[in-house]
Amino acid sequence: MKKALPLLAGAALAVAAAPSSAAGLKIGMSFQELNNPYFVTMKQALEEAAASVGATVVITDARHDIAKQISDVEDMLQKKIDILLLNPTDSTGVEGAVKSAKAAGIVVAAVDANAKGPVDTFVGSKNYDAGVMACDYMGKALGGKGDVAILDGIPVVPILERVRGCKDALKKYPDIKIVATQNGKQQRDQALTVTENMIQANPGLKGIFSVNDGGAMGSLAAIEASGKDIKLVSVNGAPEAIKAMQKANSKFIATSAQFPRDQIRIAIGMALAKKWGASVPEHIPVDVKLIDKDGARTFAW
């Protein structure tokens, strides 16, 4: 994460300098979901960082319901938050909530996925790179040939960018053909069923790219049940994925790991800096890292 380190250092300095100014501040965080270890890790990092500077937090879970997310933000405005950290479930649909927050004088930082409207800063992973890394690894593992499938997800920018990166990486391998792209909705049960269908419809399938580790775990179960040698790659670096990759003869061969704790720490640091009158970047990209079986032995969020 070499490119992210200066930003992370700056965020750390902002947080370290904060106690005299941040004590009493109220930070609101609206998550698109909390039924996911990735976002749970973000939540923990937020609570730890806020406690370290004497700020209080208000945390809500939209459960992928944009109407609920808008309502949650409105409730936070009534509670007089000073900073809004927003992880949108619908980047366009949440625009009105962003405008309301800004009209109330609140600093708004989007995290993981950007939001339309007057957001002060956006901190998110290099999702295109994540797709490139995972699918290039799969291409090499397949010896540059074979039928592959994409286990897609909800149409938000991070997911779209991962798929775009994957497709671009596979263009390097003219003997690899994408034979199916289906939506597993980033959920284990849905992904299991979708993968079963893709395997049945494509008996020569050799590889699958999943847009996230939650879906990948369902896909892995379907692959194992089929008894076929289908290689699986994904994005996130979730604990259960890291564990699954280390099993003997695992079909789960790599994941492009994100760094959820770093994203939150940077977002808080930038939001505090903006609150105190400093200029902050509109977009702060955070590096990802390809983790294979060997790397999984020492990797953790």
1: pLDDT confidence band, cut at 50, 70 and 90? very low
- Range 269-285 burial, b when 16+ CB lie within 10 A, else e: bbbbbbbeeeebeeebb
- Range 190-205 burial, b when 16+ CB lie within 10 A, else e: bbbebbbebbeebeeb
CATH 3.40.50.2300 fits 127-257, yes or no: yes
Return the CATH superfamily for domain 2-124+259-287: Response regulator (3.40.50.2300)
Q: What is the DSSP letter of 21?
A: H
Q: How many CB atoms lie within 10 A of CB 3?
A: 10
Indicate whether 19 pLDDT > 50. no
pLDDT, tens digit, 9 for 90 and up, residues 35-60: 889 999 999 999 999 999 899 999 99
| CA–CA separation, 256 and 242 (whole Å) | 11
Q: So what's the pLDDT on residue 21?
A: 59
pLDDT, tens digit, 9 for 90 and up, residues 130-147: 999 999 999 999 999 999
12 vs 285, residue with greater confidence: 285
Indicate whether 5 pLDDT > 50. no
pLDDT, tens digit, 9 for 90 and up, residues 89-126: 999 999 999 999 999 999 999 999 999 999 999 999 99
| CA–CA separation, 185 and 248 (whole Å) | 28
Q: So what's the pLDDT on residue 154?
A: 85
Indicate whether 180 pLDDT > 80. yes
Q: So what's the pLDDT on residue 155?
A: 82
Indicate whether 255 pLDDT > 70. yes
pTM of the model: 0.89
Q: What is the mean pLDDT of the chain?
A: 93
Task: Give the residues across from 178 on adjacent strands.
Answer: 148
How far, in Å, are 35, 41, 222, 243, 253 from residue 248 at the CA level?
A: 28, 27, 17, 11, 11
Half-sphere exposure of 215 (CA within 13 A, CB side): 27
With a CB cutoff of 8 Å and minimum separation 6, the contacts of 20 are none
Question: For residues 202 and 179, is the Cβ–Cβ distance under 8 A?
Answer: yes
Indicate whether 158 pLDDT > 60. yes
Q: So what's the pLDDT on residue 93?
A: 95
Q: Which amino acid is at 93?
A: G
Per-residue pLDDT averaged across 266-286, rounded? 95
Write down the domain spans for the chain: 2-124+259-287, 127-257
Tokens for 29, please give them.
Answer: 């965080």
Task: Give the residues across from 129 on adjacent strands.
Answer: none
Same fold, 2-124+259-287 and 127-257: yes
Q: Interior CA angle at 200 toward 198 and 203, to 5°?
A: 95
Q: So what's the pLDDT on residue 23?
A: 73
pLDDT, tens digit, 9 for 90 and up, residues 192-243: 999 999 999 999 999 999 999 999 999 999 999 999 999 999 999 999 999 9
| CA–CA separation, 95 and 90 (whole Å) | 9
Indicate whether 14 pLDDT > 70. no
